[in-house]
Structure 1
Amino acid sequence: MKKFELVAEMTKEIFGTKLFRIRALIAFGVVDKGDLGGWVEKEDNLSQEGNAWVSGNAWVFGDAQVSGNAQVFGNAQVSGNAQVSGNARVSGNAQVSGNAWVFGNAQVSGNARVSGNARVSGNARVSG
């Protein structure tokens, strides 16, 4: 069963890429059925399994993926081939891009930038 859908009537274009607002189809984690989430380019950007969620004005696009119980929120951006998984959190104006991975209980927040082949894991916190 799918946990979210792309809302075709709610789109915006960022850097020439069309993003869709997401809507929860079922209740899971702290998300209620019908809740509007953040913005993704395609369904593959957010796993249909686990409690992973994109909320607020956060964007996930390109081949980036959010999975597990990870949360991306605020004005955060995840792009390129980046992966956010486990119980990781990306928030504020943070950006995760390139081939970067944020996983475990790691947190990236504020104006922090994680890019290239960087790995942020365990209980690490990166802020800016």
Structure 2
Amino acid sequence: MDKKYELIETVYRNFYRIKALKDFQLITGEIVKKGDLGGVVNGEHNLSQEGNCWIEFEARAFDNSTVSGNAVMKGDSWAKDNSIVSGNAVMKDHSCAKGDSRISGNVIMKDRSLAFDNSTISGNAVMKDYSCANGNSIITGNAILQEDQCIKYGTVTTDLFGTKDWAGALYAELGVKPENNKIVLYKSVWSTDDENVFKSDYDRNFLYKIGETVVAENVDEDIFKSCTDGLHFTSLEFVNCYRGDTILECEVEVPDIVTVQASKVRARKCRVLRVYKEE
């Protein structure tokens, strides 16, 4: 087999820049010319000599990661750890594959999107806008991940944002499923002198009262924004990431959800059920 590239030593030990030994065309349309310099690798195990796969000048593949098939890495994208990038996948714009993630098919990763843990990205999936896939999640079919979506559970095959499939998004991001079109979520708040009244961390004048329905004073209806006006909730898995001395258990109706992203839910209103006490 004729090699398509060779390794050029750099000033750093065990880091090599690749140099093309022949002309070939990338799946993205660019022509790699003999003598062109590509990205940086730890060794030939990072980039297959077969197919038209390539790592462009600003991209990197380190550790035990592999790039094969016709996959292309561009624009300061990274593959590291034990990740595999194959098929016709394209990574660009600071996107990253790490852990034991698998990127294949016609996948496009861009805009600082991230795949890690044991996630699998395949089919015609697109990841963009700081989205991430982790855990044992499977992103496939015509899935689109965008705007800080962080998928950890199950399989996603569609555009959850585009279809406003909040029930699907609740499971994909938080691992929880609605019952009777309602979902129990959690919120960190601050206690007051009244054991049944609690203050929002964001607005200490906004109160949550046990047994009452709380309605947001202002709601930003833009589904692509997570940190904006509305009531914010998450699952027990993530609630301790937020400030407060008390955790409230709240019931949210799915039609009252504005968006689900960045492992949290933004809604128009909720019913405050009780103070959560760890068993």
Counterpart AA for 1:53:
W
Give SS of 1:38's match. strand
Counterpart AA for 2:112:
N
Number of the residue aligned with 1:94:
95
Map 1:27-42 → 2, pairs under 5 A: 27-29=23-25, 30-42=31-43
Deviations 1:15-71 (A, max 9, x none): xxx421110011112211101001111011000000000002111011100000000
Structure that is richer in strand per residue = 1
> What's the TM-score, normalizing by structure 1?
0.92
Distance across 2 between alignment mates of 1:68 and 1:20: 21
**Count of residue correspondences:** 123
Distance across 1 between alignment mates of 2:125 and 2:91: 12
Q: What is the identity percentage for the equivalent residue pairs of Structure 1 and Structure 2?
A: 39
Counterpart AA for 1:70:
A
What is the root-mean-square deviation of aligned Cα atoms in Å?
A: 1.1
Structure that is richer in helix per residue = 2
What is the deviation of 1:111?
1.1
Counterpart AA for 1:85:
S
Question: Unmatched 5+ residue regions in structure 2?
Answer: 26-30, 131-279
What is the deviation of 1:72?
0.6
Runs of 4 or more above 4 Å deviation: none
Give SS of 1:21's match. strand
Counterpart AA for 2:122:
S
Counterpart AA for 2:72:
Q
Relative contact order, higher structure (CA 8 A, sep 6+): 1
CA contact (8 A) 1:19 1:39 kept: yes
Number of the residue aligned with 1:84:
85
Number of the residue aligned with 1:25:
21
Which stretch shifts more, 62-71 or 25-34?
A: 25-34
Distance across 1 between alignment mates of 2:8 and 2:110: 27
Distance across 2 between alignment mates of 1:64 and 1:92: 19
Bigger radius of gyration, 1 or 2? 2
Distance across 2 between alignment mates of 1:38 and 1:56: 4
